[in-house]
Amino acid sequence: MNTDVRSTPIWLKLLQYPLVRLALLGTPLFYCLGFSNAFMEENKGHPINQAIAAMSMIALAFWIYVGFARYIERREPTDVSLRGMGREVGIGLLIGAGLYTCCVLILMILGVYKIVGINPVSAMLPAVPLALSAGFLEELVFRGALFRIVEEWLGSWVALLVSSVTFGFVHLMNPDATLTGAIFISVEAGILLAAAYMVTRRLWMSIAFHMAWNYTQSAVFSGIVSGSFNEAGLIKPVIAGPEYLTGGSFGLEASLTAFLLCTTAGVVLLVKAVREGRIVRPSLARLKGDLPPVSQ
């Protein structure tokens, strides 16, 4: 950040205080997410309407995020810049789709997941707007706003804990959520998504992973997505087995299979972030609120 702290107006210093920034940025982003989720629910069976709403909310959320970065935080929003986006999106898509596919393959070997038929390819379309909405909007809220601001204030480890627990337990709002599912998501997804941000210092990889996981889960393997919905995808399965393998009503995120695979992948990325010196330590001045945000 190029802003000279000594020349920063008092009103801007107040707006740049971490808790104030969390409220000012997090609230409108969370409303975008909430509106998108509500619209998806009210327009089931109308994927075109859902896609228009999802893209509109994503565009609005990015406009809010970039504008807030430039005019309040006084930084260049490099965490959402387009340069290098393609590579990070590609890696995120591969990790997300690959991890979920590995989980299903393990269940198939164990005889828990059995393929009994194939639906028309058109069955894969309704999951597109849902995956876009969750991937973009949830990552802007939980990694772009919550993790990033807490990290600048209290350091990477506190930010990892706060963002992971918040992200996991927000899923308790879903209709078929379980406490086990919320705890598992806090660990497996909270670590993986935050670590992806720490390694790249950008949001694209975590956005792409989130989208690919949700889309593969629903559109390809007809799985339950985080206790929220269960739409028919490409594959017609019969899933029968203990809840610690299937995840029960919450879906595969609440299974030991997903927990072990995703947590392992997250720890690998976290170790990479540590080795590359990507960990932010809390600054005493920042703890007092005397410094502006860390430049990205």
In which band, very low, low, confident or very high, does the pLDDT at 288 lie, cut at 50, 70 and 90?
low
As given in the structure block, the two tokens for residue 55 are 């893209």
d(CA 65, CA 28): 9
Q: Determine, yes or no, domain membership for 56.
A: no
Q: Determine, yes or no, domain membership for 4.
A: no
* pLDDT score of 292: 43
Nearest-CA neighbor of 163 among 189, 199, 181, 134? Answer: 189
Q: Determine, yes or no, domain membership for 15.
A: no
Does residue 230 carry a pLDDT above 80?
no
Residues 6+ apart with CB under 8 A from 7: none
* pLDDT score of 9: 87
* Residue 152: how many other CB atoms lie within 10 Å: 23
* pLDDT score of 87: 95
d(CA 126, CA 137): 18
* Residue 51: how many other CB atoms lie within 10 Å: 18
Q: Determine, yes or no, domain membership for 110.
A: yes
Is-contact 193 186, C-beta < 8 A? no
| Secondary structure (3-state) at 225 | strand
How many structural domains is the chain composed of?
Answer: 1
3-state secondary structure 83-131: CCHHHHHHHHHHHHHHHHHHHHHHHHHCCCEEEEEECCHHHHCCHHHHH
Residues 6+ apart with CB under 8 A from 42: none
* pLDDT score of 213: 97
Q: Determine, yes or no, domain membership for 72.
A: no
Q: Determine, yes or no, domain membership for 237.
A: yes
> Domain span at residue 118?
84-287
d(CA 247, CA 171): 14
As given in the structure block, the two tokens for residue 281 are 């330590």
143-192, pLDDT tens digit by residue?
A: 999 999 999 999 999 999 999 999 999 998 888 889 999 999 999 999 99
**Strands (DSSP E) found in the chain:** 113-118, 235-239
Residues 6+ apart with CB under 8 A from 228: 174, 175, 176, 177
d(CA 56, CA 64): 12
113-139, pLDDT tens digit by residue?
A: 999 999 999 999 999 999 999 999 999
Q: Determine, yes or no, domain membership for 265.
A: yes
Q: Determine, yes or no, domain membership for 51.
A: no
- Per-chain mean pLDDT for the chain: 91
Which residue's entry shows tokens 């809840």?
A: 243
Q: Of all residues in the chain, what percent carry a pLDDT higher than 70?
A: 93
